[in-house]
Structure 1
Amino acid sequence: MSDRHVTMDDSWVPDACTLPTAQQPLRLAEFDRFFRDAVRGGDRLSPQHLRLHLDGTEQVERTARDLTAREASCCSFFAFAIARPGPDSLTLDVRVPAAHVDVLDALAERATSVRVQR
């Protein structure tokens, strides 16, 4: 059984998410904006670990911290880590347990497709 719930617009929402259903489209739109505006690339370091390379501005860092904190509160299986490896670079590491790799697959796919559309 998949941990991914697919909606009409092929958005990803894990079944384990405790965010109220009415709020899920808003959160998805926030992630889409973030992926479109802030993500510059990504690397799949392992099936359970995705690293997104972000625009290095302070605003992007604030947005990333806010968005990931809220997401971790409703989807507790996500582990997010934000790092600044250089003065103009920022990374967002996303990790999941093996049981939720399909959710990370969907998130990575969404980040790529939204970024390509810009």
Structure 2
Amino acid sequence: MTRDIVIDQKWVPSACTLPTAEQPLRLAEFDALFAEAVRAVRREERERLRLELVPAPEHAARAAGLTVRENGCCSFFTFTLTVADGGLTLDVRVPPEHVEVLDALQARAETARESNRTGAPAGVRRPA
């Protein structure tokens, strides 16, 4: 069974050169990475988001591949993948004019992480 992926316009800025037909697939890749690998989401600065990932080689490789491809269509992103002190982090920076995109990225990461933690489908929260 497939699930429709809704693309929020804040997520896809006009500067994006990824063909429209490929955008839902890329979004699904980000959602999967967020759900499976993100342990914490922190907004370090207005223009910088930090994602703490589960420190595993497969998550580092997946994040690296995805961010390289994303930078190819949305070159305003600066991604920094860091392996240090037994941890794995992905920092995402944007220029001031693209903060809305970072806001949307943060919201998706938090939603996917939470849905994985609770076992609920993305966007569905279980009662406490």
> TM-score, with normalisation over the residues of structure 2?
0.82
Q: How large is the RMSD of aligned CA atoms in angstroms?
A: 1.2
Q: Partner residue of 1:104?
A: 102
1:78 and 1:107 mapped to 2: Cα distance? 11
1:109 and 1:91 mapped to 2: Cα distance? 17
Q: Sequence identity, in percent?
A: 52
AA aligned to 1:83 is T
Cα deviation, 1:90-118, whole Å, max 9, x if unaligned, reads: 00000000000000000001100111111
1:63 and 1:13 mapped to 2: Cα distance? 21
AA aligned to 1:84 is V
> TM-score, with normalisation over the residues of structure 1?
0.89
Q: Partner residue of 2:51?
A: 52
Q: Partner residue of 2:28?
A: 29
Matched-pair contact (CA < 8 Å) for 2:7–2:24? no
**1:1-118 to 2 correspondence within 5 Å?**
9-11=6-8, 12-87=11-86, 89-118=87-116
Displacement after TM superposition at 1:86 (Å): 1.5
2:66 and 2:72 mapped to 1: Cα distance? 10
Displacement after TM superposition at 1:26 (Å): 0.5
3-state SS of 1:13 partner: coil
AA aligned to 1:78 is F
1:33 and 1:65 mapped to 2: Cα distance? 14
